[in-house]
Amino acid sequence: MVVRIEPLNARKHIRKGFSCGKDSLDNYIRQQASQDLKKRVTTVFVLFDEPNFNILAYYTLSSFTLDITDLDEAFAKRLPRYPRLPATLLGRLAVDYKHKGKGFGELMLLDALKKSLDVSKQVASLAVIAEALDEQALNFYKKYGFQQFKQNPIKLYFPMKSIEEL
């Protein structure tokens, strides 16, 4: 199996069989993702197998603003005192249940972080933000260095400076 990551192409990539076990994530890739792409609400990147084009995993990226008071004091004290600051939202990340345990979640996360870092050199972003759907997702993000927001522990952030050090 040869796998690749590229932006979702609704005419090329096969979405209907995707299932990660979370209805919101399954329904998103099957029904909503291509509409969000057309409206430029988010970008969707898919991991697929060639030559079949079945989606094995996906993630979304979009612009985000965050409130400086939500950040950890140690991180926030080095930032300008603007009330809202630019960030990148890793809105969704899912792996098809048939391909769990193959490292595709880590691969997709690292790809999302790299793309976010690269783009931040052209459009400012101080961190990647993620929101965990459950305890398993929370632990996944924390394992890679994401930090929890003070007021909302299921929301996490990873500073671009830390991503750059990876």
CATH code given to domain 2-165:
3.40.630.30
Q: Is residue 74 pLDDT above 80, yes or no?
A: no
Please tell me whether residue 64 adopts helix, strand or coil conformation.
strand
Q: How far apart are CA 113 and CA 25, in angstroms?
A: 20
Q: What is the pLDDT of residue 83?
A: 83
pLDDT-based confidence at 108, cuts 50/70/90?
very high
Q: Is residue 110 pLDDT above 80, yes or no?
A: yes
Q: What is the pLDDT of residue 123?
A: 94
Average pLDDT over residues 140-161: 91
Which residue, 99, 1, 118, 101, is CA-closest to 58?
99
Q: What is the pLDDT of residue 149?
A: 87
Which residue, 143, 62, 51, 134, is CA-closest to 105?
143
Q: What is the pLDDT of residue 139?
A: 95
Which residue, 121, 116, 122, is CA-closest to 166?
116
Q: How far apart are CA 46 and CA 24, in angstroms?
A: 17
Encode pLDDT of 116-138 as tens digits.
999 999 999 999 999 999 999 99
Encode pLDDT of 27-64 as tens digits.
999 999 999 999 999 999 999 998 889 999 999 999 99
Residue spans of the domains in the chain: they are: 2-165
| φ/ψ (deg, to 5) at 88 | -115, 130
